[in-house]
Amino acid sequence: MIKTISLAHGSGGLASTELIDQIFMRAFDNSFLQAHEDQAKIKLTELTQLGDRMAFSTDSYVIDPIFFPGGDIGKLAVCGTVNDLAVGGAIPLYLSCGFILEEGLPICTLQEIADSMAKTAKEAGVTIVTGDTKVVPNGAVDKIFINTAGIGAIPTQINWGMAHIKEGDKIIVSGTLGDHGATILNIREKLGLIGALSSDCAPLYSLIHHLHTIDGVRAIRDATRGGVNAVLHEFMQGSGYGMKIIESELPLQSTVRGLCELLGLDPLNFANEGKVVIVVSPECELQVLQSLHRHPLGINAKSIGEVVTKRNVTLQGLYGIERLLDLPHNEPLPRIC
Amino acid sequence: MQFIDEFRAPNAVKSLLNQINALVKKTVFTKDSPLNIMEVCGGHTHAIFKFGLDQLLPPEINFIHGPGCPVCVLPMGRIDTCIDIAKQPNVMFCTFGDAMRVPGQQGSLLTIRGEGHDIRIIYSPLDALKLAKLNPEKQIVLFGLGFETTMPGIALTILQAKQLQLSNFSLLCQHICIIPTLKALLALPDIKIDAFLGPGHLSMIIGIKPYEFISQDYAKPVVISGFEPVDILQSVIMILMQLIKQQYLVENQYRRIVADKGNTAAQAVINQVFTLQGNDEWRGLGKILDSGVRLNEKYREYDAELRFNTKRHCQQDDPNARCGDVLTGRCKPINCPLFGQTCTPTSAYGALMVSSEGACAAYYQYRQSDLI
Ligand code: SF4
């Protein structure tokens, strides 16, 4: 068998069929794909049994490097989209995936990525039901780009959204901040920091679904590109209230903190791939924290601040002085996620 | 975290602030006529704002944000020279990220990268050498920027280039020296600086002796300081003590990093490769006598300006911009009519707004809430 991807693999001819059969059909194996149709036919009754709204989301993944401690581009492409569904209160169900491959990509690399996607999809309880592969000449993309889109069903009783946020609500993060961003930066810029730097990339539905039964959860966002800071700004825009967080309460791994100190960067701006920011009513704060702490992905969950009237995002520093948390103005480091 | 947490501990900070409050009472300084301490280095400016030290200290103490950031004092004309070279065919122009956004007359390096010119952001000067080895058909130009802190690394890179006989590598030298800057500052007639918070990292190279003229000729205390809150507050105490005793010395608060005699090996390599020659223009400060750093005769072949035969651009600052006044402590960033109006981090007029160490950037980032 040919060892690298060639333009023929994207031609729609024999080579394409072989590639799809040997890599994707084998890894994602399910009856939707077996049908070999141009579309997956999903029963509407299945969706309506689970909820009264369908959630639909898409994202593209262009990370460099494609393998990193704690994950790879495939795992990221599944986690990213299922998490986008889960934070809206949906039960993630089906994914599509589109691959753009660079001519010359080793087939074993693609295989490893597809296997990782299959494993993550299984863990997340979703099925990859349709897909597409394109091959572009060497240099036109960097190794591999993946797009995933997903659908899920939102249970009737759940109605999370930024419009429900009220003054006095509490802001909770589900774990340590910036692990993914710091890990990628460390490898990409060859900073050579050794230690336990590892991406937090993980599917979060199993953590979030315990919150479905708690009254008082207002809004959830996963803190990916732009980090917690960007989420807080979105919350501010969406709710009309300000967000105030306390520096000494921020959960951080010491390696991430070390890297930030070294480079003068703020972990609040770093990407996470397995963390959510949750706004809850003060009455259910404890219950939410307890629920998160019971799950392995939420053991470091912490309440970090609250919703205030003054419409800006501020950080109360170690000595009680409050400062404005602006979104970074500088161009972000290229392609961190 | 060792070496960080103990220098940020809230109870230590509180106790130092109490000491400062008590000491200030023994001096002549008042709220209306405060003790003006210039922090030379932008690293200090950012620490002061980040931790809110300016708000925690009594009003009798006022920080003036000095010219100690190489990006901030970069004249527009130098960016224009960078751009002239980067636009030449076959050139790969290497720079540290900070200089990318500094505006010149024809835009910034970031703008011309967007136009398709080959500009690379590097993390170490040796990355530029690597690029030179990998791309023999290209001319690699390294933008050498900074005070004595970055000079040893660049000097070593030049030595290596010579050893490897690389003919496609050159340096656009925009190094500057701290002592001529401070001399020029102190010679200005309307400057009101009572003491200096000396730069920590830079002094690690040059040591503490070169600052002695400040204490001896101008009777002003200099304390070389670390960058954590406890460091800065301890340094303020050391300054106050000197003033109370009417002793004017160069003291070293940052002993854990700065040896009194500096790093002699680094000094040697700087002297081997660079020479002080000519008067250089500094943004906001004008021409400073004998502050120009050039490559030594022996290494002149690596001078990008000679290789590309560039012309010097003269600077035409917006008459409303007060970059120079901010750098010399004549005004605060908010007193500049451009601040937050035409000059913001996304549409900066001055380098003080785009440099991560610039005073205007610090005001914009940390003090905007006070202004709106
Ligand atoms: S606001 Fe802009 S123009 Fe004014 S002093 Fe600062 S950098 Fe210069």
Our answer on whether the CB atom of B249 is closer than 6 Å to any ligand 1 atom is no
Burial of A60 (C-beta count, 10 Å sphere; 0-12/13-18/19+): middle
Distance between CA atoms of residues A239 and B312, nearest Å = 53
The residues near B167 (Cβ < 8 Å, ≥ 6 apart) are none
Distance B367 CA to ligand 1 centre (A): 15
Pairing of strands A71-72, A67-68: antiparallel
DSSP 8-state class, residue A248: G
Give B106's strand partners: none
By the CB < 8 Å criterion, does A166 face chain B?
A: no
Q: Report which of B372, B369, B327 is spatially closest to residue B352, judged by C-alpha positions.
A: B327
Least confident window among B93-97, B222-226, B280-284:
B280-284
Query: Which residue owns the Cα nearest ligand 1 atom 5?
Result: B323
Reading chain A (337 residues) residue by residue, the pLDDT tens digits are: 579 999 999 888 889 999 999 999 999 999 999 998 999 999 999 999 999 999 999 999 999 999 999 999 999 999 999 999 999 999 999 999 999 999 999 999 999 999 999 999 999 999 999 999 999 999 999 999 999 999 999 999 999 999 999 999 999 999 999 999 999 988 877 776 666 789 999 999 999 999 999 999 999 999 999 999 999 999 999 999 999 999 999 999 988 988 887 777 889 999 999 999 999 999 999 999 999 999 999 999 999 999 999 999 999 999 998 988 888 766 544 344 3
Residue B167 has pLDDT above 90, yes or no: yes
Answer whether A329 sits within 8 Å of B345, measured CB to CB: yes
Taking the CA of residue B318 as reference, the ligand 1 atom at the shortest distance is: 3
Our answer on whether the CB atom of B343 is closer than 6 Å to any ligand 1 atom is yes
ipTM > 0.90 (yes/no): no
Distance between CA atoms of residues B143 and B134, nearest Å = 19
Our answer on whether the CB atom of B74 is closer than 6 Å to any ligand 1 atom is no
Taking the CA of residue B322 as reference, the ligand 1 atom at the shortest distance is: 5
pLDDT at A334: 38
By the CB < 8 Å criterion, does B89 face chain A?
A: no
Give how far the C-alpha of residue B208 lies from the chain's centroid of Cα atoms, to the nearest Å. Answer: 17
B19, B21, B22, B27: CA torsion to nearest 10? 120
pLDDT at B27: 95
Answer whether A319 sits within 8 Å of B50, measured CB to CB: no
Q: Where are any strands of DSSP class E within chain B?
A: 35-41, 61-68, 91-96, 119-122, 139-146, 169-175, 195-198, 222-224, 250-252, 274-276, 280-282, 286-288, 293-295
pLDDT at A240: 97
Distance between CA atoms of residues B125 and B148, nearest Å = 15
B4-33 mean pLDDT:
94
Distance B45 CA to ligand 1 centre (A): 15
Query: Which residue owns the Cα nearest ligand 1 atom 3?
Result: B321
SS3 content of chain B, % helix, strand, coil (to 5): 45, 20, 35
pLDDT at B368: 62
> The tokens 């400073």 sit on which residue?
B288
Answer whether A326 sits within 8 Å of B52, measured CB to CB: no
Our answer on whether the CB atom of B338 is closer than 6 Å to any ligand 1 atom is yes
Residue B86 has pLDDT above 60, yes or no: yes
Number of CB pairs, chain A paired with chain B, less than 8 A apart? 53
Distance between CA atoms of residues B174 and B268, nearest Å = 19
- Residue B32's CB is within 10 A of a number of other CB atoms, namely 7
Distance B77 CA to ligand 1 centre (A): 17
B16-42 mean pLDDT:
95
Distance between CA atoms of residues B248 and B214, nearest Å = 9
Pairing of strands B35-41, B61-68: parallel
For the stretch A229-232, contacts whose Cβ atoms lie closer than 8 Å and that sit 24 or more positions apart, written own/partner, are A229/A266, A229/A268, A229/A269, A229/A313, A229/A325, A229/A327, A229/A328, A230/A269, A230/A327, A231/A277, A232/A171, A232/A277, A232/A313, A232/A325
pLDDT at B370: 58
By the CB < 8 Å criterion, does A213 face chain B?
A: no
Answer whether B13 sits within 8 Å of A321, measured CB to CB: no
Our answer on whether the CB atom of B214 is closer than 6 Å to any ligand 1 atom is no
Least confident window among A219-228, B127-136, B145-154, B278-287:
B278-287
Which residues of chain B neighbour A193 with C-beta distances below 8 Å? none
Kindly state the tokens that stand for B243: 């003033």
Q: What angle do CA B132, B134, B139 make, to 5 degrees?
A: 35
Pocket test for ligand 1, best of B353, B357, B364, B371 (most atoms within 8 A of CB): B353
Reported as a single tens digit per residue, the pLDDT across B284-325 is: 777 887 778 999 999 999 999 999 998 877 666 677 888 888
Distance between CA atoms of residues A200 and A203, nearest Å = 10
pTM of the predicted model, to two decimals? 0.83
